[in-house]
Structure 1
Amino acid sequence: MTQAPSPTPQPSGLPHALGAYLIWGFLPLYIMLVSSVPSFEFVGWRIIWTLPLCLLIVAVRRQFGEVKRALTSPRTMLALLASAALIAANWFIYIWAIMQNQVYAASLGYYLNPLLNILLGTLFLKERLSRLQWLAVAIAAGAVAMLSAGALTTLWISLSLAFSFGLYGIVRKQVNVGALPGLTIETFILIPAAAMIVLWYAASPDGSTFGKTTELSLLMVFSGVVTAVPLLLFAIAARRMAYSTLGFIQYLAPTIVFLLGLFVFGQQLRTVQLASFLLIWTAIAIFVADLWWRGRKVRPIRA
Structure 2
Amino acid sequence: MTSSPREHSGLWVAVASFVLWGLMPLYWHLLKSVPSLQIVAHRVVWSALLVLAWLLWKQGRGWLRAALERPRAAWMLALSGTLIGFNWSLYIWAVNAGHVVESSLGYFINPLLNVVLGVAFLHERLRPVQWVSVALAAVGVVWLTVQFGQPPWIAICLALSFALYGLLRKLLAIDAVAGLGVENLYLLLPALVVVMWGETHGQGGFLPLGGAGWGAGADALLILGGALTALPLIGFAYAVRRVPLSAVGLLQYIAPTLQFLCGVFVFHEAFDTDRLVGFAFIWVGLLIFACEGWWRLRRPAVPVTA
State whether TM-score is above 0.5.
yes
Whole-Å separation in 1 of the counterparts to 2:172 and 2:61: 17
Give the CA RMSD over aligned residues.
Answer: 1.7
Q: 1:36 to 1:9 in 2, by over 3 A?
A: closer
Higher deviation after alignment, 144-153 or 280-289: 144-153
Are residues 1:209 and 2:211 paired? no
Whole-Å separation in 2 of the counterparts to 1:16 and 1:272: 37
Are residues 1:140 and 2:137 paired? yes
Q: 2:98 aligns with which of 77, 97, 101?
A: 101
| 1:151 Cα offset (Å) | 3.0
Whole-Å separation in 2 of the counterparts to 1:61 and 1:154: 45
- What is the SS of the residue equivalent to 1:222? helix
Alignment of 1:161-172 (within 5 A): 161-172=158-169
Q: 1:57 to 1:154 in 2, by over 3 A?
A: farther
Extract unaligned runs of 5+ from structure 1.
1-7
Give CA deviations for 1:145-172 in whole Å, capped at 9, x if unaligned.
Answer: 0111123557100000000000000001
Which residue of 2 is the match for residue 263 of structure 1?
265
Answer yes or no: is the 8 Å Cα contact 2:44–2:184 preserved in 1: yes
Letter in 2 for 1:239: R
Which residue of 2 is the match for residue 230 of structure 1?
232
Q: 1:245 to 1:73 in 2, by over 3 A?
A: closer
Which residue of 2 is the match for residue 296 of structure 1?
298
- What is the SS of the residue equivalent to 2:152? helix
| 1:62 Cα offset (Å) | 2.5
Whole-Å separation in 2 of the counterparts to 1:67 and 1:257: 35
Are residues 1:40 and 2:42 paired? no
Q: TM-score, normalised by structure 1?
A: 0.92
Q: 2:24 aligns with which of 17, 27, 35?
A: 27
Alignment of 1:152-167 (within 5 A): 152=149, 155-167=152-164
Answer yes or no: is the 8 Å Cα contact 1:143–1:276 preserved in 2: yes
Aligned length: 293
Whole-Å separation in 2 of the counterparts to 1:152 and 1:222: 39
Are residues 1:17 and 2:14 paired? yes
| 1:207 Cα offset (Å) | 4.2
Q: TM-score, normalised by structure 2?
A: 0.91
Answer yes or no: is the 8 Å Cα contact 1:210–1:220 preserved in 2: no
Identity of aligned residues (%): 39
Give CA deviations for 1:1-21 in whole Å, capped at 9, x if unaligned.
Answer: xxxxxxx86443210110110
Which residue of 1 is the match for residue 87 of structure 2?
90
Extract unaligned runs of 5+ from structure 2.
208-212
Whole-Å separation in 2 of the counterparts to 1:286 and 1:63: 45
Letter in 2 for 1:267: E
Which residue of 1 is the match for residue 285 of structure 2?
283
